């Protein structure tokens, strides 16, 4: 397979797309990887004319692959007892000694990615990983792992960075996970897949930071068997463009999911939260609370969808809330909450608001002596923190502190 064989599929490739073709051609990809690349090549880098990407135009954001920034310095640290897994922009490293119930296996060669056709950045990542050195890890959890896994992902000042994690959670297993993405690559795309067997539990906390040079896509999928429980809390500061996309499917009865998160976008930062939840089994529960705060020149996007098919989705209990604050004039927030419900005996709610801080409340606070900036910060913090309450112990306070700094403009902007 040569670059010229691949090129025809891409219509009018951009410089960046051509570079991606070259990069892929340099690997000796197997059939699986080639299939993934072909699917990616059908659309190329996602762009505004694709409905799901109308507010996040990756093609425009990455015209050519350029080196990313150095990683943001971060003052967030995982709990001491955490098991640390690191990605340097190219390959994973992890400890030799692992506790019982946890297995980590690097994988080379393509690994089937079933949802490639719906997730172009996921398809690209599936094509670009599975090569040496270890850029793909299979993580198998077969018991209750007491210590949290701490996953640190850096772009390593590269022009492109791709990594993949596949979590296999056996019956009744239990995993706490903290993922910290700190940017540092011109184009970074990570694919994280979760398969939860019956009664398996995952509690996932994600912190995403990057600079205004970095384009990042974090694509996650989760399949939940009966009575499985998946909780996710994300705090994202965005980058030049950041897309955090989560596709979750309830496949067994009585599974439960929480998808909470907050995005905080300063001037020049773009954050996109996209989620898709399918209630493919009866009596499953999904609770989703997304909060956002966007400053002048920042852009926040929320796209959420609940799909409840007719026969299998009975007794669904689902709630999707998105609430955002425009901190200044010139802030942009786009939201598209969607409920697509065909089953008739369900409880589905959704709410979507964007607005500004209440002037009356601000005046009241100022009257008590708080300077306006402090009053705004306190009010916004209280608003945001609600979406971070389910973050992991030991991380939650740090996320709140990072939120505080952002709101007081004390965060160092890279």
Binding site for another protein (CB under 8 A): 358-361, 363-372, 374-375, 378-379, 381-383, 385-386
| Residue 15: CB minimum distance to another protein, A | 47
Report the nearest approach of another protein to the CB of residue 388 (Å): 12
Written as six digits, the tokens of 106 are 């690097």
Any idea of the CA torsion for 366, 296, 161, 274, to the nearest 10 degrees? 80
DSSP H or E stretch at residue 59 = helix 58-61
Q: Which is nearer to another protein, 39 or 293 (CB)?
A: 293
CB of 362 to another protein, least distance (A): 9
Residue with smaller CB distance to another protein, 147 or 378: 378
Core vs surface per residue 61-96: b (16+ CB within 10 A) or e: bbeebbebbbbbeeebebeeebbebebbbbbbebee
> Residue 72: which residues within 8 A CB-CB, separation 6 or more?
182, 183, 184, 209, 210, 211, 412, 414
| DSSP helix/strand/coil, 256 | strand
Q: How far is the CB of 108 from another protein (least distance, A)?
A: 49
Report the residue number, 383 or 406, with the smaller CB distance to another protein.
383
| Smallest gap from residue 134 Cβ to another protein (A) | 44
Residue with smaller CB distance to another protein, 296 or 374: 374
Residue whose CB is less far from another protein, 63 or 373:
373
For 271-318, give the DSSP string. EEEEEEEEE-STT-EEEEEEEEEE-TT-EEEEEEEEEE-TTTTTT-EE
Smallest separation, CB 359 to another protein (Å): 7
Q: How far is the CB of 360 from another protein (least distance, A)?
A: 5
We find the least distance from the C-beta atom of residue 233 to another protein, in angstroms, to be 17
What's the alpha-carbon Rg for the chain, to the nearest Å? Answer: 21
CA atoms within 13 A on the CB side of 330: 9
Nearer to another protein, 358 or 397 (CB): 358
Token code pair at residue 347: 């409880």
Of 342 and 363, CB closest to another protein? 363
State the nearest-atom distance from the C-beta of 81 to another protein, in Å.
29
Exposure class string for 14-35: b at 16+ Cβ within 10 A, else e: bebbbbbbebbbebebeebbbb
Question: Quick check: bond before 133 cis, omega within 30?
Answer: yes
Q: Closer CB to another protein, residue 197 or residue 387?
A: 387
Cα gap 305→338, rounded to integer Å: 5
Q: Residue 370, class by beta-carbon neighbours within 10 Å (0-12 exposed, 13-18 middle, 19+ buried)?
A: middle
Nearer to another protein, 160 or 375 (CB): 375
């Amino acid at each position: 397979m040569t670059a010229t064989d691949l090129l025809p599929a891409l219509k009018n490739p951009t410089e960046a797309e051509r570079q991606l073709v070259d990069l892929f051609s340099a690997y000796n990809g197997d059939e699986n990887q080639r299939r993934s690349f072909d699917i990616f090549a059908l659309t190329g880098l996602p762009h505004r004319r694709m409905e799901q990407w109308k507010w996040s135009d990756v093609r425009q954001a990455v015209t050519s692959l350029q080196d990313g920034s150095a990683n943001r310095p971060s003052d967030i640290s995982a709990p001491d007892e955490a098991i640390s897994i690191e990605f340097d922009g190219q390959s994973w490293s992890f400890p030799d000694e692992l506790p019982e119930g946890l297995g980590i296996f690097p994988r080379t060669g393509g690994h089937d990615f079933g949802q490639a056709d719906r997730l172009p950045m996921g398809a690209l990542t599936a094509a670009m990983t599975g090569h040496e050195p270890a850029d793909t890890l299979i993580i198998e959890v077969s018991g209750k792992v007491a210590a949290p896994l701490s996953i640190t992902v850096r772009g390593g000042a590269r022009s492109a960075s791709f990594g993949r994690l596949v979590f296999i959670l056996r019956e009744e297993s239990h995993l706490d996970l903290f993922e910290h993405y700190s940017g540092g690559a011109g184009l970074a795309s990570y694919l994280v897949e979760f398969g939860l067997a019956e009664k398996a539990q995952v509690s996932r906390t994600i912190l995403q930071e990057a600079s205004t040079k970095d384009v990042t896509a974090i694509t996650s999928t989760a399949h939940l068997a009966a009575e499985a429980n998946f909780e996710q809390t994300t705090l994202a500061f965005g980058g030049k463009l950041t897309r955090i996309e989560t596709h979750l499917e309830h496949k067994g009865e009585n599974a439960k999911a929480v998808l909470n998160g907050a995005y905080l976008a300063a001037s020049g930062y773009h954050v996109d939260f996209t989620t898709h939840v399918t209630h493919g089994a009866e009596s499953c529960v999904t609770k989703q609370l997304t909060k956002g705060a966007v400053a002048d020149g920042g852009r926040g996007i929320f796209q959420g969808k609940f799909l409840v098919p007719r026969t299998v989705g009975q007794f669904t209990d689902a709630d999707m809330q998105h609430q955002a604050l425009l901190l200044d004039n010139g802030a942009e927030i786009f939201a598209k909450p969607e409920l697509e419900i065909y089953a008739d005996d369900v409880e589905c709610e959704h709410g979507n608001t964007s607005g500004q801080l209440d002037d009356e409340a601000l005046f009241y606070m100022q009257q008590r002596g708080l300077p306006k900036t402090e009053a705004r910060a306190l009010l916004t913090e209280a608003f945001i923190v609600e979406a971070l309450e389910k973050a992991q112990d030991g991380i939650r306070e740090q996320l709140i502190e990072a939120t505080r700094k952002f709101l007081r403009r004390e965060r160092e902007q890279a």
